[in-house]
Amino acid sequence: MAEPLTLKDHSTERQIFIDRVVIGFGLLLALTAILVARMFYLQIIQHGVYTTLSDKNRIHIQSLPPKRGLIYDRNKRLIADNVPAKILTIVKERAVNIDATITRIRAIIPITDNQIRAFRKRMDGQRRPFESVPLRLKLTEEEIARISVNLYDLPGVEVEARLVRHYPMGAFMSHAVGSVRRINAEDLQRLDQIAYSGTDHIGKIGVEKYYEKLLLGKVGYRRVESNARGKVMQELDKKLPVPGINLTLHVDSRLQAVAIDALAGRRGAVVAIEPSTGGILVLVSNPSYDPNLFISGIDRKTYSELRDSIDVPLFNRALQGQYEPGSTLKPFLALAALENQVINADYTIQDPGWFKLSNNERLYRDWNWTKNSPGGHGSVNLQKAIYRSCNVYFYQLAVRMGIDTISEYFKLFGFGRNTGLDLPEARNGLLPSREWKLKARGEAWFPGDTVNIGIGQGSILVTPLQMATAVTVLANRGRWVRPRLLMNTEIMPVSGSGRMPITNVPQWDSRNWETVIEAMSMVVHRGNQGFGENGTAWAYIGRGIEYQMAGKSGTAQVVGIKQGEEYEAEELDERLRKHAWFVAFAPVDEPRIALAVLIENGGGGSKFAAPVARQIIDEYLLR
């Protein structure tokens, strides 16, 4: 310490210190002002921004999916119900790593690639923040247990309870009511994803699809406050979902059961309609499938079995099966001929068992021709031509009317188009005309084509629904009702207007209707007159019947029979045998039910299809 020769100048040191403190304090105030300015900026200028951020942190909207509308049959029996099921969901915002999470879940419970695809599509699509997205539906008890013990390790994964569609009648009603399927990737592209948030299924077929808007209901939501770990602390407000509307169908499940029993496992279809309303009482396509299989994702094996089965259970024969109508077409042709004044009711021919066009050598046989007997029905008038189903008579009628007139009249009964009100999947069948043949086959229409149309064969195709509809119009003596499944909803009556206005068949001479209908009741009731004079169906259904039924059988060839060859059912493969048709309505005077029965490869219509029709009508009218 060499320097302290000079004395410490306390006064100066103190002054320097005070200066420094004053400057320091000024600096301190300036820095404090910066802090205040910062707070002012955050708390006042940016207040709105941060309030939003803070709310977004804590407030989340959860969807409350609506309860899908129930579907009842006309006796208020439940066809489509909702049952609680456990599903596995993931909330993206809480899952740290989606891929890793899925991989870990897959190690615990089975999940298919399809399910992951649908999940990803939904995850990436329009979605509210913190909305859970389903990965697996319908967990089994065991799966729930296995997932639950691992939940601590799977952030964002939850087991949620949801209502899932259930069809208590199973396969029994599947073709009548349709079904829902899980929403898939393609659906998501066109759906309003907010309306479907929290909903896992959508109507894919039938009534479920057609009335999707009514059945779905309106999604509700609740706003909840949750903490940083996603735990819901309280509910702030909520808007309850509006449940879907319950539907009541015209379908009579008991009658449906009788029809399925009556088919006794044979492939075929039955459509029965209430003539006063057009309500579909029975819509059976056999074989069928259990729609419940599809709800939570069907496994590949079961699906390919259903899809590849030779009996095509997934195919709705009643709406989409297109068959030659055979002789069931004859009453309509007769009506057209009468109205068109090609003939009158007394017009009589001598039936030699064959028909020949004037400039052609080909013989068109009657159905009772065999190699050993020329067949034919002798003297045949219009009514006999119907109750005996005389082909030669109708060959002549057809040729005399010509295809143009025939097409025009058939169209009035709904052939060649879909007249269903809520049956968009129904097919149009095929009503041939000159223009159609030129367009479809590039050929002119030949008179020989018209001959075959006379007995409902050749290029004409109809669906069982179309056949039942035509018979309904017949039963109503020309008054049209459009076939429909929906009877009513709880909120509104069903309006009769549809996409396509259907006009009644013009008010024809009522005697013509009665002539044909009388002939059709003879098909069923005219008996004990000897083989050549009995109604074709009498032997099978006409005995002991307590009401008046009008009917007509039909037998449609599946394979062409060569000129001069005989049809031998026993020699043919079962799948090549003729289709059996029977159309009927009853009671004749005040019809309450009209129906069409088709049995694929069933054989003769009177023998095989008519008894099915009688069982259904018996059940409906007499129970």
Partner 1 sequence: MSQDFVRRMPDAGSGFGKRTNWIETIHLDFVLLLLLIVVSLYGMLILYSAVGQQNGPLISQAIKFGIAILAMVFMAQISPIFYLRIAPWLYCLTVMLLVLVLLYGPVINGSRRWLRISGVGGFQPAELMKLVVPLVLAWYFHDRHLPPVSKHIFWTLVIIMVPVLLIAFQPDLGTSLLICVSGLLVLLLAGISWRTVFTAIGAGVLAAPGLWFVMRDYQKARILTLIDPERDPLGSGWNIIQSKTAIGSGGIFGKGLFQGTQSNLDFLPESQTDFIIAVLAEEAGLFGVMFLLIMYILIIGRGLLIAIQAQDTFGRLLAGTITFTFFVYVFVNIGMVSGLLPVVGVPLPLVSYGGTSIVTLFAGFGMLMSIHTHRRITL
CB under 8 A: which stretch of 16-24, 101-109, 441-449, 564-572 binds partner 1? 16-24
Per CB under 8 A, 97 contacts partner 1: no
Interface with partner 1 (CB under 8 A), residue from 144, 151, 233, 559: 233
**Which of 536-555 are b and which e, b meaning 16 or more Cβ less than 10 Å from the residue's Cβ?**
bbbebbbeebeebbbbbbbb
CB under 8 A: which stretch of 195-203, 223-231, 241-249, 415-423 binds partner 1? 223-231
Please report, as residue ranges, which positions from 107 to 146 form the binding site for partner 1 (by CB under 8 A): none
Q: What are the start-end ranges of the H helices in 366-525?
A: 382-387, 391-412, 434-441, 447-453, 464-475, 510-525
Nearest Cα residue to 371 out of 545, 202, 563? 563
CB under 8 A: which stretch of 201-209, 224-232, 420-428, 519-527 binds partner 1? 224-232
Per CB under 8 A, 576 contacts partner 1: no
Per CB under 8 A, 14 contacts partner 1: yes
Per CB under 8 A, 54 contacts partner 1: yes
How would you classify the pairing of strands 157-166 and 78-91? antiparallel
Per CB under 8 A, 228 contacts partner 1: yes
Per CB under 8 A, 8 contacts partner 1: yes
Interface with partner 1 (CB under 8 A), residue from 25, 235, 566, 569: 25
Per CB under 8 A, 232 contacts partner 1: no
Q: What whole-number distance in Å separates Cα of residue 319 and Cα of residue 283?
A: 9
Per CB under 8 A, 3 contacts partner 1: yes
3-state secondary structure of 470: helix
Per CB under 8 A, 153 contacts partner 1: no
CB under 8 A: which stretch of 9-17, 438-446, 463-471, 581-589 binds partner 1? 9-17
Per CB under 8 A, 242 contacts partner 1: no
- Cα-trace Rg, the chain: 37
Q: What whole-number distance in Å separates Cα of residue 604 and Cα of residue 580?
A: 5
Give 93 or 261: the residue with its C-beta nearer to partner 1. 93
- Let me know if 327 is a catalytic residue: yes
Show the 3-state SS of 180-219. Answer: EEECCHHHHHHCCCCCCCCCCEEEEEHHHHHCHHHHHCEC
Binding mask 180-219 for partner 1 (x = CB under 8 A): ----------------------------------------
The span from the first CA to the last CA of the chain, in angstroms, equals 129
Give 21 or 240: the residue with its C-beta nearer to partner 1. 21
Interface with partner 1 (CB under 8 A), residue from 26, 43, 543, 569: 43
Q: Which of 253, 327, 433, 606 is catalytic?
A: 327
3-state secondary structure of 247: strand
Give 12 or 359: the residue with its C-beta nearer to partner 1. 12
Give 18 or 438: the residue with its C-beta nearer to partner 1. 18
Shortest Cβ 18–partner 1 spacing (Å): 6
CB under 8 A: which stretch of 106-114, 227-235, 264-272, 367-375 binds partner 1? 227-235
How would you classify the pairing of strands 71-72 and 247-249? parallel
List Cβ neighbours of 35 (8 Å cut-off, separation of 6 or more): none
Q: What whole-number distance in Å separates Cα of residue 343 and Cα of residue 397?
A: 8
Interface with partner 1 (CB under 8 A), residue from 6, 359, 495, 528: 6
With beta carbons less than 8 A apart as the criterion, state whether 461 and 430 touch.
yes
List Cβ neighbours of 521 (8 Å cut-off, separation of 6 or more): 548, 549, 550, 551, 588
Per CB under 8 A, 53 contacts partner 1: yes
How would you classify the pairing of strands 132-136 and 78-91? antiparallel
With beta carbons less than 8 A apart as the criterion, state whether 601 and 574 touch.
yes
Per CB under 8 A, 28 contacts partner 1: yes
Question: Which residues have a catalytic role annotated?
Answer: 327
- Footprint on this chain of partner 1 (rule: CB under 8 A): 3-4, 6, 8-10, 13-14, 16-18, 20-21, 24-25, 28-29, 31-32, 34-36, 38-40, 42-44, 46-47, 49-51, 53-54, 57-58, 225-229, 233
